[in-house]
Structure 1
């Protein structure tokens, strides 16, 4: 009977030694040809890279990191992927990190995988830095990050509130003030705010700016509605409970919601109870859904691209420690949800 040889299903991986033999150079020359800034003649580098490309060779980044002491790996910490704005920021962060020649290590903090496990993994992978994109910067996470001093940590889109932990964020205080002015100019007398739990809004300063401007213009903050989470359903349920518990004549005429997800939930509640346009609604973030004709949400746009680029700078630049923290202005985006029907 004919004998059948096993079919090779995996091609042999081309090594630096293989390239060196084909190119007629030393093995270390191959490594240097792929290392930015390494001392090697341009014509030799071009020759080695041409041979490597023909052979399908790719340099071993892990092996290179042992000699350069840099993994070109940036860890991204998140804790709420259900938030549409978080997904948008994560997309932008990974895009920009990769454009800089780095790779990302995504660390999803959740009840089953806490900050201790996440930072331990980041340390084991020897990441060059960490960007925190989460909603809740806990005391435990701060203390753990401070203990791993050789890994830079930058907080993005909120204030860290800690000396030694730089942040890049939209300046929430003047943003809140501008939104207060908008609602007052719309003729709103009773004005409220919808927030997430205190643990999630730490460092945002939107509420403080909103309240301060109201007071400076002779208004008071009538109510603070607290949703249990940054989710559309929570925004809707919080508003439904408020509408049910509050007589029509005593309801707020304008409501600033801490982010767009809560604002969209609040609008859903108004639509469900035939109260659309009876309460002016303003959000924060300017997610894609905000511009939908179903919501026409007036909101405050954060300069996400710029803030992400500044966060990355604070990790990869040689003088990163000197850059410190940064707060940038955003932009008020007017649509129609901030307009309300007088006389509820």
Structure 2
């Protein structure tokens, strides 16, 4: 008897150039059920304006393919862009029969991140409770996307809450591994750990060589040109600048730590974390009816 092959999804890769973010719509071609992974809200720090043109392009794609979105997924609490998860959930609830709102899912360790950054930015407790997310996934938990099965894999290192999603012969790894000429993600955020990232990367590279690793970001050098959403496991084993060859954990940690020490903070670090621990919900209004985010101020020289 010939063993049936695993059903493969239809994958739409959408690149957001301002933050270098890859967003994904992953669908079961037989049922048209679909999920959205790591969506982006547009944010202009010079005007403090949030707009939805990037998220609206996802909605247009969903409409054009008659997809039924069953989940909106996050790989982690991003520190470089604002998630559009809550906006998309609200808009999809307006357009689906019965007003069904697709659940927003993330790994269960998001509570650690909510606690740490909620206190730092004084986010009200009801706006950073675990319940702002609809689903908190356990490690190795599975769920259905139509006739497809998705599996959750814990990939800590970049952040402690970080997870990936294995769907068919594809893994959506968020900010764990980048394209081979860039390497891996930074580990200098609170809760980040280079040794943990090395273990997560080895978990990915232990998958069969034909499996495609879809990344959360790309920052293509001029020598390469266009951003790429995925690279096979076998290509990463051969060419990833941080992982190829016989790189051990000690060497990786030394390289990653040295690299991270020279990196500037993400441009939207503070805005992103305050929105993303809320699952993309906007801050509540002040007494004057204004929505506010908290930003740190650095004083050079003596304070007064």
- Both structures adopt the same fold (TM-score exceeding 0.5): no
* Larger helix proportion of the pair: 1
Provide the TM-score with structure 2 as the length reference.
0.26
Q: Larger relative CO (CA 8 A, sep 6+): 1 or 2?
A: 2
- Max radius of gyration: which structure? 1
Structure with the higher fraction of residues in strand conformation: 2
